A and B are shown apart, each in its own frame.
Chain A
């Protein structure tokens, strides 16, 4: 499975099974009591079951399906947050998740300090940050506010800064959970352009969305998940049609 072709992601029989007590047990005390009383029932929940997919470099993959179909779990497996219960995940390159912009931001730190914190959370070194910090400030249109604590920012400024940091380095694999709506119209256009540049530059993208028009417009292939299984993979038009038919 070594560097043949331009494969960037390969999932082989990927299965994620949650093994959880039937009722959620929160405390050690309760757990101990249950064990003593032999009143501990487990139930299995299969979030993903036998997923086999191969993705080539530069593809934009849409993931569709109902709530609870396993879309987020699949993204977690690809972004290395979750190691599958069974099967194999093979990934070449750094995965950048654009899930929650500015998730690691702290209100008391300045914009500049938050950029360093967020960038290192995404796996970049401080040397990388120093190289790009001016670009990030420029792109986010923050100006001199960069030295002010984040709590003085408007929500739009926070979102812009979050997006600017997360996309300051061209990602090899990009994960988008629902399409981003950041800031005003003009800034959104700027974001869109940056995304387009990534795609033409060879970035592989995973996009989860409930908006079929977006999926059709952006994706080269679509994966339809239901109850943790792949129902169909292929041309956006055909897969979306089949999905819509099944959903009624």
Chain B
């Protein structure tokens, strides 16, 4: 009986492996329950011991919004409902910066586990994005409350938000995988990235209105900046109550998917070498 069981067993042959990116995809599908468990772990572990629990996820961007509003609302008085403008931008940006940073850390420190048991190597990066998505969804709640308080139009177009979140997640995963590939070789990539993130944030209209940037700079500052499009896709449906223009949707989609595919292929190709680094 044992034999019949073993006959069906999966065969692994190191000399006959297919395309690394597709193998990785197949692995992740097999280990999909693990991704759920890892997200569950990160979300639960973060909240279990704090008194305010889940509220922290919502309070953190709210706190930043209050600070930004106090500091900048006079300066940017032409922006209607500035608190909602800045909060929507901050939420999208925080998701991106936190998940990509977490993806790097997971590879550098979570690598110990990858060195002991076989797991699809993208598991930790994907779960970092998953955890970020849970936090992102939670922080939309206070954003909607703010929109209502400020009497901004809340419309059916808010249903576009899940698409914006998905595109943001794809882009963040692609960037996270590319950075992890680098970080396995050079741990200080993580520090360098923090500086880049800070500069990148100020090149993206998060706390200031787009119109503040002179038109001659807008082209290279915005058009070529993926996060400009992605923040816009997230902000417009909720802050303006409109659907984003087709050009932004197209740019956002193309840039996210291309980054994800490139990141996935590069990471999967290099993944076999990770275990040699430890």
Contacts and interface: CB of A to CB of B under 8 A. Distances in A.
Contacts of B15: 88, 90
B31 A120 contact: yes
B276 A26 contact: no
A234 interface: no
B184 to A, nearest CB: 12
Interface centre among B2, B9, B11, B37 (most CB of A within 10 A): B37
A149 B38 contact: no
Interface in B18-55: 30-31, 33-34, 36-38, 40-41, 44-45, 48-49
Given A28-B189, A80-B118, A104 B13 contact: no
A6 to B, nearest CB: 8
A97 B14 CA distance: 18
A117 B10 contact: no
B115 interface: yes
If over half of A's interface residues share one DSSP class (helix, strand or loop), that class is named, otherwise mixed; here it is loop
Contact of A92 (B11, B114, B185): B11
Interface in B191-215: 192
Nearest to B35: A120
Nearest to A118: B37
Nearest to A16: B276
Contact of A27 (B33, B116, B186): B186
A75 B250 CA distance: 48
A104 B117 CA distance: 10
A113 B186 contact: no
Interface stretch (A122-130, A135-143, A187-195, A235-243): A122-130
Nearest to A91: B12
Given A27-B186, A57-B6, A81 B117 contact: yes
B116 A99 contact: yes
B3 interface: yes
B45 A121 contact: no
B87 to A, nearest CB: 30
B115 A81 contact: yes
A97 B116 contact: yes
A94 to B, nearest CB: 7
Contact of A109 (B14, B45, B185): B45
Contact of B44 (A90, A92, A113, A120): A113
Contact of A18 (B2, B34, B276): B276
Contact of A149 (B9, B40, B48, B114): B48
Nearest to A122: B117
B148 interface: no
Interface centre among A83, A99, A104, A106 (most CB of B within 10 A): A104
B188 A28 contact: yes
B37 A120 contact: yes
A30 to B, nearest CB: 9
A103 interface: yes
B154 interface: no
B30 A123 contact: yes
Contacts of A108: 44-45, 48-49
Nearest to B116: A99
B78 interface: no
Contact of A84 (B2, B14, B115, B116): B14
B13 A90 contact: yes
A68 interface: no
Contact of A31 (B40, B116, B186): B186
Contacts of A100: 116
B36 A81 contact: no
A89 to B, nearest CB: 4
Nearest to B112: A103
Contacts of B9: 92-94, 172
Interface string A142-184: 0000000100000000000000000000001000000000000
Nearest to A2: B11
A22 to B, nearest CB: 16
Contacts of B38: 117
Given A92-B9, A103-B113, A104-B113, 6 more contacts: A83-B272, A95-B118, A103-B117, A106-B41, A116-B37, A121-B119
Interface of B: 2-3, 6-7, 9-15, 30-31, 33-34, 36-38, 40-41, 44-45, 48-49, 112-119, 182, 185-189, 192, 272, 275-276
17 contacts: A28-B189, A31-B185, A31-B186, A76-B275, A80-B118, A81-B118, A84-B14, A92-B6, A92-B10, A93-B6, A93-B10, A97-B116, A116-B40, A120-B31, A121-B117, A121-B119, A126-B37
> Closest 9 CB pairs between A and B?
A28-B186, A120-B34, A93-B9, A80-B118, A202-B2, A27-B188, A89-B14, A88-B15, A108-B45
